[in-house]
Structures are given as structure tokens and as C-alpha cells.
Amino acid sequence: MISEEQLIAGLAFLFALLALAISIGPWASPYRMRSMAAIASRFGKPAARLAWLLVAILAATCGTAIIYEIRPAYVAPDSPVNSGSSFDPGTSVEPKTPVEFAAQAPETPAANHATQP
């Protein structure tokens, strides 16, 4: 894991802790924010508290995903940045053209079937 990921995950956890404190705390000022004020005026303060709790859960989930390096399927697993191995910033990786990128992708049966008569 690189230090930037640790920083971002830590910030996500701090924001989750802050949102959790807001959702269970006695403060009124966080409910003056425009979006929370709209929720509170339309559905009541308990719904706004649940909205803060949802924000806390989502932030904690994002922090956990960053810590455990959960990535979308389209991220290349052999990339040194994504594999967790040490990465030397002095080395350069040449970007691939769209043609080179498409050439390395495996053929799907649908693509193979479309080219046959």
C-alpha cells in the first residue's frame, strides 16, 4: 500500500467518525447545511440524523475499500502502483495507444462471432 492511499483512507475514516458524531450528538449547526436542512424540514430531524449516519457508513466503507485495495475490474492488476509492490518514481512507463491497448485485450466470444459470416 502506498502512503497516499493510507492518507486518503485515514481522511475517509476521520470523516466517517465526524459524521457519526454529528448523527448521535446534540449539535444543531450541522443540520443548518442546505441539504440536511432540506431533509430535516421535509422528513424531520430523525431522518436527517439517519442521513448523517448513512454518510458515516459510506465514508467508512470507502476507507475500508481503500485499505484493502479493492479496485474496479478495469484496473490493470500487473501495474506496480496497484499491486502493492515498491514503485520507483524514476522509472517511466510508456502509455499505450488505443490500438495497442485493444490488441492486448482478450477476444470475447461475442466479438469473435461478429466477425464470422
For the stretch 35-56, pLDDT in tens is: 999 999 999 999 999 999 999 9
88: in domain: no
Question: All 3 cell numbers of residue 19?
Answer: 459524521
pLDDT at 16: 98
* Model pLDDT for residues 50-101, shown as the tens digit of each residue: 999 999 999 999 999 999 988 887 775 555 554 554 555 555 566 667 777 6
Question: All 3 cell numbers of residue 99?
Answer: 490500438
Q: Is the pTM of this model over 0.85?
A: no
Q: How many domains are there within the chain?
A: 1
Question: All 3 cell numbers of residue 100?
Answer: 495497442
103: in domain: no
**Whole-angstrom distance between the N-terminal and C-terminal Cα of the chain?**
49
Long-range contact list for 7-12, CB < 8 A, 24+ apart?
A: 8/66, 9/63, 9/64, 9/66, 9/67, 10/63, 12/59, 12/60, 12/62, 12/63, 12/66
53: in domain: yes
Place 105 in a pLDDT band, splitting at 50, 70 and 90.
low
12: in domain: yes
114: in domain: no
Helix (H) or strand (E) segment spanning residue 50: helix 45-67
110: in domain: no
Higher pLDDT, 117 or 41: 41
pLDDT at 67: 92
DSSP state of 94: P
Range(s) of the domain holding residue 24: 1-75
pLDDT at 64: 96
- Please return the burial class of 75, using the count of CB atoms within 10 Å of its CB with bins 0-12, 13-18 and 19+: exposed
Higher pLDDT, 72 or 109: 72
92: in domain: no
117: in domain: no
pLDDT over 70 (residue 117): no
